[in-house]
Structure 1
Amino acid sequence: MLCRKLFPRALNTLHFAAPRSFATKMAVPPQNFTLDPKIFNPTLYSHLRDFWFQGLPQDSVSPNEETNRRWWGVGRSETEAKEIDISCHSNYAHALESISPSHLALPPFKSYDADAENLAKPFLSPLESQKDDREAADTLLSLILLLDQIPRNIYRTPPNLSLV
C-alpha cells in the first residue's frame, strides 16, 4: 500500500479531533464512514492539483513567480488573496463539509494508535483502489491539498477557525 510506504509515521500518529458538541444524530461512526464517491473521485482530485499547480510547468521542481504570488503572497494584493479564498470555497468547501464533524461521529479519545486506523480508513480506500502507484500518489497529494491547504483559505475568519 503506497500510503503506508510513503507516510508510515504519519499514519501511526494521524488524529482528527473535534469537539463532541459538533456531532449530530446524522453523524456516522468512523468505522462505518465512507467518502462520497460523487464528491471524492478522480475529477475532484485532478481539479485540486490543476488548481493548486496552475501556472507551474509539469516538469517543475520548485515554485515559479506565479505560484509564489498565489500561495506565499509574494507581491499579491488583498483582492487577489480574496479571489483565491473564494475559489477555494466555491470549489472545495462541499468536499470538506461532507467529512465534517456533523457527518463523522468521533469516539471519545483513547490514544493516537487506537484512533489512527479507523479515522484514516475512509481516506486510505481511494489510494488502495488506484491502478498504479502514480495514480495513488496523485490521489494522496490531492487529499493532502484538500485536507491541509484548502481549509487555510476557506476558514480564515475567527468564527470559522474552529472548523480547521
Structure 2
Amino acid sequence: MAIVTLKGNAIETSGELPKVGTKAPDFELTANDLSSKKLSDFIGSKVVLNIFPSVDTGTCAKSVRQFNKEVSALENTKVLCISHDLPFANARFCGAEGLDNVISLSDYKNGSFGKDYGLNFITGPLEALHSRCIIVLDENGTVKYTEQVAETVDEPNYKAAIDAL
C-alpha cells in the first residue's frame, strides 16, 4: 500500500507499483472501439503507461495532451492512457482535442489493471479509481521507470518519463 494525497488529504492505494527491472504484468483493457487490448499487443515498442483517475479532470486532460505532444517526436513509442473512463468518454475527449498520438484504454469492465498494478485508491473520495501514475516500459515489457504522483492534483514528471525511454 502507498499513501498519496488529494488536495492535501491522505488517501491509500491498493499496493505498490511494479518494480523497475521486472516484467510488467500483462493486462486486458478496452479500447475506444470496444476491442480488447493487452500489454502483449505492444511488445516491440517502448510504452508509456499514463494512468489517471478520469480524463474529465483538468490534470488528467493535461497529461493526455502533453504526452500526445511529446510522443509525436519519438520513434517506436506508444503512450497508453489508462483510466476507468468509459471508452465513449475517451473517444469523445480525444476526438474533440484532435489527439491521435495516444491510445486510450479503459479498465471499466473489472478493474483488474488497477488491482494488478497496485494503484487503485482504496480510501477517499476517488475510491476504486486509479491513482495518477506513470510507468515506462522497454520493448520487451520490462519496467524502466515508475512514478506515483504524490499529490493527485499535480501533473507527473514528463521529462523523467521521456528521459527513461
Q: Provide TM-score, normalisation by structure 2.
A: 0.24
Structure that is richer in helix per residue: 1
Which structure has the greater CA radius of gyration?
1
TM-score by length of 1: 0.24
Please state which structure has a larger fraction of its residues in strand. 2
